[in-house]
């Protein structure tokens, strides 16, 4: 297939020219630094875009204009906000545990950075391809909750404390569901590595491949992922009308910015993992046999497919956020422990039966197998 | 070369934070330092190429056990207060116990390190292999210990329910 806009040629050209002109150690060093810079830049830029998109979409949901003063349609609004937040004073608060207070935002941002690094953004745009990608992502993203708990405690403030405890309970519960939903797909594909998962979804996305079971797992993953990012209707830890702002009440300036960034990027990370695991990742839509159609689809570069699919899921998440009222804490925990978790466990069993009995779509129609 | 530098950095971090975890006066800070120790250990696994163990170390210890620790500490009376130093005879007893434990573990590790060098293969273990090893009943497969651990966990859960119901 012709892939004119793909970055693969550029990247391999860069690699070979570097290798021709200097020893391997320096090549690796330069490449590591380049990858790190690219990831950090992508992190920041994505956050800026997401914040603008969220504010604009939210405004349309609520029949307002949203940001419309800075630049056309307020496009430069988030950049102005970034400059503002960088210039703000970090207020020193008396009677807090200073070490933990300063460490907490870093836990959040490091956890989401580490997860961010393992996401396949496109063909060859994949920083770390672990053999156990799915497990790595669920493991590392669970570090963020420690940041929330420490922030809530070290702020020496009752509202922060209540917010942190709620967040902890919520995160620990919904982490289970998210993990199990991903495990269902691991059963289906027989691999935990993101690249192999994407390769297997060339003609048939996982969400169709495991039909009943996959769709249930997808819905559960979206619900629990949404809950893990602490966004409405699951935004009890922040609940501005009850707890002012929950665990980050006492933070100001860039420290608050870290929490804010991590929240938006976590939304993106959940959506991108759902894309990769259920919706074929960066793989274009292809139909076996229709070579002309497939060629047209491949003209659209893989990163565009990835960001397109992720964007749809993010829009879905915003839609949910502004459509449902906030849950009470008992409703929240009931939903997880009495409904999602039992459904999930049964769902894994169904998936095992589907795989063993050969009832998945790729088994039934071998033409769909890659 | 690079691996050695990373190893020494990780080792220094683990050592420093282990000492801090024991000597810190505030229990919540001890927990945080312990978390850094566990993360450092995960880093060692990553350095060795045991990615599965690395992910499990983070998921179970950093994500699970430490969150429970911090929760438990936050639910106790005054987590921020300084812990008082123990009586002198108790401190001596604790010192003797820890030295004895160190000697015992050190002995076992010292005599088994050579074996480990010959037996362990520095290659990435596939998750499928680990699963088969854990769930098989043949030689060098560990279904029985695996099930015993689940019974142990069940006992823990039953115990926790009993304690919680008393109130």
Residue A136 touches partner B, C-beta closer than 8 Å: yes
Reported as a pLDDT band with limits 50, 70 and 90, residue B80 is low
For residue B47, pLDDT over 90 is answered with no
pLDDT of res. A102: 84
Residue A97 touches partner B, C-beta closer than 8 Å: yes
Say whether the peptide bond before residue A101 is cis (omega within 30 degrees of 0). no
**Residues linked to residue A125 through DSSP beta bridges, in sequence order:** A122
Residue B16 touches partner A, C-beta closer than 8 Å: no
Reported as a pLDDT band with limits 50, 70 and 90, residue A257 is confident
Reported as a pLDDT band with limits 50, 70 and 90, residue A240 is low
Which chain B residue has its CA at the smallest distance from A137's CA?
Answer: B55
Reported as a pLDDT band with limits 50, 70 and 90, residue B101 is very high
Nearest to B55 among A132, A161, A172 (CB): A132
**Mean pLDDT throughout A206-221?**
88
Does CATH number 1.10.1060.10 belong to domain B1-83?
no
Residues of A in contact with B124 (CB under 8 A): 131
pLDDT of res. B50: 82
User: To the nearest 10°, the Cα dihedral for A188, A192, A195, A201?
Assistant: 10
pLDDT of res. B166: 65
Q: What's the whole-model pTM score? A: 0.86
**Mean pLDDT throughout A229-255?**
75
Lowest average pLDDT, out of A212-221, A305-314, A354-363, goes to A354-363
Tokens read off for A275 = 């894309």
Residue A319 touches partner B, C-beta closer than 8 Å: no
Share of chain B above pLDDT 90, in %: 16
Residue A369 touches partner B, C-beta closer than 8 Å: no
Which chain B residue has its CA at the smallest distance from A139's CA?
Answer: B59
Mean pLDDT for chain A? 85
Q: How many CB atoms neighbour CB A346 within 10 A? A: 12
| B 93-132 → A contacts, CB under 8 A | 124, 126-127
pLDDT in tens, A329-348: 888 888 888 898 999 999 99
Rounded to a whole number of angstroms, the distance between the first and last alpha carbons of chain B is 58
For residue A245, pLDDT over 80 is answered with no
DSSP one-letter code for A358: T
Of A212-216, B80-84, B109-113, which has the strongest mean pLDDT? A212-216
Angle, CA of A69, A71 and A77, to the nearest 5°: 70
For residue A14, pLDDT over 70 is answered with yes
Contact A142 B59 (CB under 8 A): yes
For residue A144, pLDDT over 80 is answered with yes
Show me where the domains of chain B are located. Answer: 1-83, 126-167
ipTM: 0.81
Contact B79 A139 (CB under 8 A): no
Lowest average pLDDT, out of A210-219, A313-322, B85-94, B102-111, goes to B85-94
For residue A93, pLDDT over 90 is answered with no
Q: How many CB atoms neighbour CB A97 within 10 A? A: 20
For residue B99, pLDDT over 90 is answered with yes
Side-chain half-sphere exposure of B141, counting CA atoms within 13 A: 11
């Amino acid at each position: 297939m012709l892939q004119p806009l793909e970055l693969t040629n550029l990247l391999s050209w860069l690699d070979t020219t570097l290798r021709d002109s200097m020893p391997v150690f320096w090549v690796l060093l330069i490449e590591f630094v380049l990858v790190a810079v690219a990831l950090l830049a992508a992190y920041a830029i994505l956050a800026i875009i997401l914040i603008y998109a969220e504010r604009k979409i939210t405004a349309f949901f609520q029949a307002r204009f949203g940001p419309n003063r800075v630049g056309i349609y307020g496009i430069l609004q988030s950049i102005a906000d970034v400059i503002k937040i960088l210039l703000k004073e970090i207020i020193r608060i008396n009677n807090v545990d200073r070490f933990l207070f300063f460490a907490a935002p870093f836990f959040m941002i490091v956890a989401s950075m580490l997860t961010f690094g393992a996401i396949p953004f496109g063909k060859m745009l994949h920083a770390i391809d672990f053999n156990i990608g799915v497990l790595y992502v669920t493991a590392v993203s669970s570090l963020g909750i420690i940041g929330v708990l420490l922030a809530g405690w070290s702020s020496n403030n009752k509202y922060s404390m209540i917010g942190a405890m709620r967040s902890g309970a919520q995160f620990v519960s919904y982490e289970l569901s998210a993990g199990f939903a991903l495990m269902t797909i691991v059963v289906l594909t027989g691999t935990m590595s993101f690249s192999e998962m994407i390769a297997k979804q060339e003609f048939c996305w996982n969400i169709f491949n495991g039909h009943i079971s996959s769709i249930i797992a997808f819905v559960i993953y979206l619900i629990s992922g949404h809950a893990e990012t602490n966004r409405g209707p699951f935004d009890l830890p922040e609940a501005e009308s009850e707890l002012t702002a929950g665990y980050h009440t006492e933070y100001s300036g860039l420290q608050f910015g870290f929490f804010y960034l991590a929240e938006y990027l976590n939304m993106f990370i959940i959506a991108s993992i759902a894309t990769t695991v259920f919706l074929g990742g960066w793989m274009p839509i292809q139909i076996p046999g229709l070579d002309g159609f497939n060629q047209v689809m491949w003209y659209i570069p893989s990163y565009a497919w990835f960001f397109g699919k992720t964007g749809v899921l993010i829009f879905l998440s915003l839609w949910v956020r502004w459509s449902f009222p906030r849950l009470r804490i008992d409703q929240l925990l009931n939903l997880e422990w009495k409904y999602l978790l039992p459904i999930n466990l049964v769902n894994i069993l169904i998936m095992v039966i589907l795989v063993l009995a050969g009832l998945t779509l790729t088994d039934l129609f071998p033409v769909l197998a890659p | 070369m690079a691996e050695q530098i990373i190893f020494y950095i990780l080792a220094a971090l683990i050592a420093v934070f282990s000492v801090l975890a024991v000597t810190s006066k505030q229990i919540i800070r001890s927990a945080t330092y312990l978390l850094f120790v566990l993360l450092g250990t995960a880093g060692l696994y990553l350095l060795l190429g045991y990615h599965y163990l690395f992910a499990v170390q983070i998921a179970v210890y950093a994500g699970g056990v430490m969150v429970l620790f911090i929760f438990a500490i936050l639910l106790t009376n005054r987590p921020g207060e300084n812990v008082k130093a123990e009586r002198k005879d108790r401190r001596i007893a604790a010192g003797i116990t820890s030295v004895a434990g160190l000697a015992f573990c050190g002995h076992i590790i010292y005599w088994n390190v050579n074996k480990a060098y010959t037996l362990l293969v520095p290659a990435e273990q596939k998750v499928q292999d680990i699963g088969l090893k854990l769930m098989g009943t043949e030689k060098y497969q560990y279904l029985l210990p695996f099930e015993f651990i689940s019974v142990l966990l069940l006992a823990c859960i039953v115990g926790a329910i009993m304690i919680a119901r008393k109130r």
